[in-house]
Structure formats: C-alpha cells, structure tokens
Amino acid sequence: MPTNATKFKFSADGETLLTNGANEQSAELWSLTTGKQIYAFPAKSGFALCDVALSADGYLAAALMYSLSAPTLPTKRQVELKVWNLKTKQAQWTSPIQTHAIQTNETPACQIEFSPNSRFLATSISSRSRNPQVGVRIWNARQGTLQQITRSAVTYINRLAFSPDSSVLGFVTGNSQLHLWNLSARKLQAKLQALDGKYVMLILDAIFSPNQQEAIAFTSDGGIFSRLYRWQIKTGKLQSSSELPIDRTDSLLSLSPDAQTYVYGGDVTGYHIGNFQTRNSWDFPQNLSPTSGLTTVVFSPDAQQMAIAQGNQTINILR
C-alpha cells in the first residue's frame, strides 16, 4: 500500500487497515484484498494524527490528533479525540482533551485502543519529559462520554492493551511497569515489574493471553539479554520468566495477540519471526526484510497477518 503512515491497525476481520496517513494528515482506510484506499478521514486543519484505532464490531474508527503549532512557549498543544462512523463516513463525536501536559516543543507519545467488545475507547497522550501525566482516559465509544481516568502518576505511557473480555486495561509506563486497571472496580488491580535479580528490565511490549489468565511482557536489559515474563492477571503473581534467544544487537518489533509469535531483528543479524513454544525462528522473506531500525510491525487480531512499514512510502502485508 503506497503510504508513509507511522501508525496503523487491522480490523477485527483482517480485511482492512486503518493508518494515520501520509504526513499524518488523514485517517486512511485500506482494503487488504485490493491494496487500494477505501476512504480518507481528514485531520483538523493545523493538526496531525498521532494514532488511530478500529472498533472490533466494524462500526467506528478513531484518532488522536494534536496541534502542530501554538503562539508561544510554553503553551500546551491542543489535543482532540475524534471518532467516525464507518458506515456513514461522518463524524460520530469529537472531544477536546484539556488536561494534558504536552508543550509545543515536545513530540507527543500517543496511544488509542478500542476494547474487544467495542464498548470502550482508551486514550493516552503524553511526553517523555519528567512531567507527570494525568493517566489513561476511558471513554464510552458510541456516545463519547468520559467514563474513567486511571489517575496514574507516571511520566509517559507507551503501550495500551485490553484483556480479551474487556474487563482489564493494561498499560506500560515510563518507569517500565505494567499497570493493570480493573474497569468495573475503577481501580488499579496490580503494578507489575520485571526483575532479573535486583535489575529492572525494560518492558518493550505487553499483551494478554487469549485464555485471559496471564499478562505477558517482552523485556530487555537494554543491551544483552531479553526475557519473557508471565504474571497471573487476578493476583499479579509472577508465573514464569524465560530467556529468549535474541542477539544483543537485535530489538523487538512486535508480539502476536495469540502469545505464540514475536518479530525481532536488527541490521547486524537480519530480521526474524520467532515462536515461543518451539523456540524456532525463521528469516523474513528476502524481499520484505527490513533494512533499518525504523521498521514498525503490527499483527492482525488473529495473528495471521503482519503489516510492515519501513519508512519507504510503502506498507507491506505479510500473511
């Protein structure tokens, strides 16, 4: 697909892909059957789309956008959340987000995810500065009403993931903790940290197991070792940790939603697809092998497809 988008998500049925578009100026919906664009939802004038999401029921598309400029420093960037109806191609609702700490000289770290049951929409927009953030917002996806704020005193959040039953929201914080937020109880259920002895491992990605029993995190010590940690969701108890056969020059690109597969690599050893259970790995097809560390890989919900962006004006789909 001919687009230089930086963020993209699969639909639940794996038939379409939503991207933040060329130069982050529109939410582009693409057909994975034809490779052609179906529709483009334009960003607000003077704004950039920093992340996008599709609801599992195929009804809604959503995007977080932030203002590209402001009159003077340290004026905060304007941030808006917009949701479109995929059937009518019209805006369903829009909400400005007032309480944020993104200055005009900072690049926001944006995260937006629908819950698997399509009822909730979680959003986070933060910076990598040391300023505490307000937390993750949880919205009613259809009506646009703000339901909850996690109120986590963290610097930034770089990953959002719902449990398969939509009861728990997990998010990775800037101090490398995995927080589990219980939506029905409206409180933090657990703070999880990956420890190798006394050393704190960096959490690079996190998912929930399909059986809804475990929270799983891929971690790195920042230079040599990579490990996979599994915690019980209800108790936060560590179930297991295991070292992964990844070269010190490699980095993680993505974990699959079914907790079976991961994609890793680097310019030294090439790029690979690994399997957790068999501990086998396969090289990327030569014509799709990434050529730089700018690569982004996103799995489809059924883990049978990967979207691969390499910063070369193209997104490739690997089945």
Tell me the pLDDT tens digit for each residue of 214-245.
999 988 887 778 888 999 998 999 999 888 77
Q: How confident is the model at residue 52 (pLDDT cuts 50, 70, 90)?
A: very high
Tell me what pLDDT residue 32 has: 94
For residue 166, pLDDT beyond 80: yes
Give the least confident one: 108-122, 150-164, 277-291, 297-311: 277-291
CB 49 within 8 A of CB 25: yes
For residue 106, pLDDT beyond 80: no
pLDDT per residue over 3-13, tens digit each?
888 889 999 99
Task: Please tell me the distance from the alpha carbon of residue 233 to that of residue 145, in angstroms, as a whole number.
Answer: 28
Q: How confident is the model at residue 83 (pLDDT cuts 50, 70, 90)?
A: very high
Tell me what pLDDT residue 41 has: 95
Task: Please tell me the distance from the alpha carbon of residue 170 to that of residue 236, in angstroms, as a whole number.
Answer: 12
User: For the residues 125-138, what does the mean pLDDT come to?
Assistant: 74
Domains and CATH numbers, the chain: 1-193 (2.130.10.10), 196-319 (2.130.10.10)
Task: Please tell me the distance from the alpha carbon of residue 101 to that of residue 108, in angstroms, as a whole number.
Answer: 10
